[in-house]
Structure 1
């Protein structure tokens, strides 16, 4: 347990430092699209609760989208009343799920560890920019970018990396968009609704498949 805490605190601190600037510096790998802090097995696996940003797994591998949805639903039930799971995506390194309010509004984004079933708030924007469910949650400030402006900012970044973007989905304090390559989903990025900062979700790995809300 001491090891988990030792690794977790520096990770949160690192993310906080990365989020402090008006525009994020994207660290590049060979593709020029950046890299993230998690390689698929770095999630906490013991203890924890949704209120603390993660839910322990039972070390039972998650084999498909349906099982990933079930784990995300367990997290949603303890995070907030009325939350439900919308879109679920499978990547090489993890499963990704959107949590929605009862009225369909986007609430936050989570990751499901395929090896253990552990669930946590997604790295990056969901932790650092989400003004309602993030680790630095605060009263919502003025939203300066609407969905189209966020999409324009995302597209400008995407074009520099040989990509395009889909529609912008609004979360508290930011937008998330699928990135596209040759018309197919390649990954995703987020745009801060106040500063216009772009944060590419570089921790997922290759996109595999997805399912819409149940």
Structure 2
């Protein structure tokens, strides 16, 4: 039987997906834009990372970025032997890490539980939109938005939500992720679906604390 701490990820996942603010941007052939709600849910299942996007923790607290990187690396080796860990970030609620292919292309995003060391595919876009590593993977899906268009969509969302700015997009299979900024400081992040233009703000992280780039 799993302890309360070990249930952290699925419980937070459900709350985050219910509470996330999400836009849908649909684009017709004339590039007109309409806006409406979009949503989705997804929770980790039993099994290893390749089957469920989940790596159980050892109940050893993760104290810093280096330890978070080690845990993410353990997950990466199980998910795909050629994957490596790129950027790692620490937030008030969790650690976040990007996994990359050997050529530097972004593969997916993961969360590390600071209390138990459990690692999982990040809920939201990494689970629901990632066309290669997500729970609804659709290999061969073609993006309709360029990185520049995704940035424009993200900035339009940010303008309507507190006047935030957005950083440069990072392309993952099926979507883009961007840091949101208050001045020069990272405030959080959001993702833009590369096919539909939907915007999904990562509301589960809490306040940004620190980060390290890929090794």
State the TM bucket, normalised to the shorter chain: 0.7 to 0.9
TM-score, L = length of structure 1: 0.82
From the superposition, tell whether residues 129 and 83 of structure 1 become closer, same or farther in structure 2 (CA, over 3 Å).
Answer: same
SS in 2 for 1:157: helix
Structure 2 stretches lacking a partner, 5+ long: 26-35
From the superposition, tell whether residues 43 and 113 of structure 1 become closer, same or farther in structure 2 (CA, over 3 Å).
Answer: farther
1:85-105 CA deviation, whole Å, 9 max, x = no partner?
Answer: 000000000000000001000
TM-score, L = length of structure 2: 0.81
SS in 2 for 1:209: strand
Q: Equivalent residues in 2 for 1:191-210 (5 A)?
A: 191-210=192-211
- Give the aligned partner of residue 68 of structure 1: 68
In structure 2, C-alpha distance between the alignment counterparts of 1:210 and 1:25, rounded to whole Å: 32
In structure 1, C-alpha distance between the alignment counterparts of 2:182 and 2:141, rounded to whole Å: 34
Moved over 2 A (4+): 1-5, 21-27
1:50-94 CA deviation, whole Å, 9 max, x = no partner?
Answer: 111110000000000000000000000000121000000000000
- Give the aligned partner of residue 131 of structure 1: 131
In structure 2, C-alpha distance between the alignment counterparts of 1:155 and 1:180, rounded to whole Å: 11
SS in 2 for 1:150: helix
Q: Equivalent residues in 2 for 1:1-214 (5 A)?
A: 1=1, 8=10, 22=24, 25=37, 48-51=47-50, 52-161=52-161, 162-214=163-215
In structure 2, C-alpha distance between the alignment counterparts of 1:103 and 1:123, rounded to whole Å: 25
Hey, which of these two has a bigger chunk of strand by percent?
A: 2
Q: How many residues align?
A: 194
RMSD: 3.1
